[in-house]
Amino acid sequence: MKKTVCVVCKKEKKGVRVEDDPVIEAIRGIKERLNISKRNILVVCKECLPKAEEKRKRFERSVMTWGILAVLVAVLLLLISFSIQSLLLSVVTAVLFMLLALLSYFPKVEKHGKET
């Protein structure tokens, strides 16, 4: 039987499941390849639910902020000099900005998730 671990307090507790999104699947894939996967079921316990919702909102704001900055910098680079190099640089810069947004990543809690 797999353990259920709260992603906020890191304790083995029952709670509402966390959605498996591409970021979590990528992390699990890397851990599987490195043979360090514990195969836990990720949940948020009832005590940590408000904190988890706040962390998710903060992550979503961060994605919006970095996305807007990425677009502004890309447009600015293209306005300064429209060339293949500036186009490539603007795309690379936008991708880097979006990767910076992932530094504050927090998974989404299933809205109608069963408690496990």
The kind and range of the H/E element at 6 are strand 4-6
Q: Which domain holds residue 55?
A: 4-104
Is position 81 within any domain?
Answer: yes
Distance CA 4, CA 7 (A): 9
**In-domain check, residue 115:** no
Number of structural domains (the chain) is 1
112 belongs to a structural domain: no
Q: What is the pLDDT along the chain (116 residues), one digit of tens a residue?
A: 689 999 999 999 999 999 989 999 999 999 999 999 888 999 999 999 999 999 999 999 999 999 999 999 888 888 888 888 888 988 898 899 999 999 999 999 987 756 66
Adjacent-strand bridge partners of 42: 5
